[in-house]
Every structure is written in structure tokens, then in C-alpha cells.
Amino acid sequence: MKRTLGLLLCLCSLYPIFPNSGDNTLAAFSPKPIKILFVGNSLTYTNQLPLLVEKEAKEHGLIVHTSLVAYPNYAIEDHWNDGKVRQLLEKERYDFLILQQGPSSLAEGRQMLLDYGAKFKSVCEAQQTQLVFYMVWPSLRYYQSFDKVIQNYTNAAQSTDALLCPVGSVWKAYIEQTKDRSYYGPDGFHPSEKGSTVAAQVIVKTLFPEITANERP
């Protein structure tokens, strides 16, 4: 476990956290609860990832409250079109909006990340909410597309000046170093509890980098 966490922290430091208009240092040490809205599909709600993020944040002395809008097979285009996420953003004040869709290794998925990421970015700016992309992974069946998944999520974050949670990159590096595929669940696509726990660690480190700045493997 120590080896896994060490690799996780090392990898996160290699992937840039893109500039944003918020002050994450102040957020991390604020006594006010930090509000996060997760938007995605089954890759987010499996193993109750938002609650794992709350738990991970609490271990670092942070109070995080999460909300979730996620449905099976939903892409961010679907979330935009049904309007629920926009209504929530306009009704409540969230510090972070974390967007996730499928692997998005193909051109269509890449374009959807770019186009609808930009739409959500405009809403986030109006509400002073930081946009975040949650990079996922391909199924084991399409493992060869992993680099495209990483590239397309990275491009989407760069194009919208958003934060990027490089969970997929961390998964890939760990799997290729250890040959251990236990981050995947039984269906070879959705995360195991172990995989979701690692995702939560990456998300917390991305949103609040200063809390682990002095940690060592």
C-alpha cells in the first residue's frame, strides 16, 4: 500500500494542475465546508466515489460536502441538454464542478469534451465555480486506447483552463509498472473499490495540492 501511495503522489506531481481563477490555498484552510458537484455516469457513482472523496478530504482536515448527478451511459452532452446541472449551479454555490464522461478515446468523444466542456465553463465562470475534468480509463477490452483517453481529457482541460484530475494516468502507470489490474472491477471496466479509493486520492490531491505538498512516499 505504501508503494502504491508513493507512486500515486509521484504521478500526480508530474501532471500539471492547470491555472484557475480560484484560490485553492485559501479554500483548503477555510473553516467553511467546500462544496463539490460531481457530474458523470456509472464510473463516478460506482463505489460512491463522492463519499470516498469526502472521507479522503476529512483525513487531511478538510470539510467537504458533495452532491452527485450521474446516470448510466450519460455523457456531458446529455447533462447539458437535460438542464439539471445548470439549474443546480445557478441555485447553489459550488466551489468545484467535476465533469466525467466515458473514456472518450474516439474523435466524437473528444469533440464532446471540448464543446460541452466549454459550455459548462461559461456557466462555472458566471457562478464562480472551478471547472474540473475527471479523467477516467478505457475498458480492459480496449486497453490499447488508453493514451487517447489521457490525451483527450488533457486537451479538454487545457482548452477550458480547467483543473484535471489525472486518475486515468495514475491507473495506467500503476498497471504497467506492477502488472496488477485490481483497480478494475469484475466487468473489466467499472472500478473496484481499490480503484475508486485511488481515484478519490487523486481528486483530493488535485483540488488541494498544498495538503500533500510535504508528504513523502
Identify the pLDDT of residue 86.
97
> What is the mean pLDDT of the segment spanning 54-78?
96
Alpha helices in 128-208 (DSSP H): 146-159, 167-178, 193-207
Within 13 A of 164's CA, how many CA atoms are on the CB side? 29
Domain 2-211, CATH: 3.40.50.1110
| Domain chopping of the chain, boundaries | 2-211
pLDDT tens track for 166-203: 999 999 999 999 999 999 999 999 999 999 999 999 99
Whether the predicted pLDDT of 3 surpasses 60: no
* pLDDT > 70 in the chain, percent: 83
> What is the mean pLDDT of the segment spanning 75-100?
97
The CA-based diameter of the chain, rounded to the nearest angstrom, is 46
pLDDT tens track for 96-108: 999 999 999 999 9
pLDDT tens track for 27-49: 445 568 999 999 999 999 999 99
Task: State how beta strands 34-40 and 64-70 pair.
Answer: parallel
Identify the pLDDT of residue 30.
53
Cell (9 digits) for 46: 460506482
| The one-letter amino acid at 26 | L
pTM for the whole structure? 0.85
> What is the mean pLDDT of the segment spanning 204-209?
96
| Mean pLDDT for the chain overall | 89
Q: Is 22 left (phi over 0), alpha (psi -120 to 50) or beta?
A: beta
> What is the mean pLDDT of the segment spanning 54-75?
96
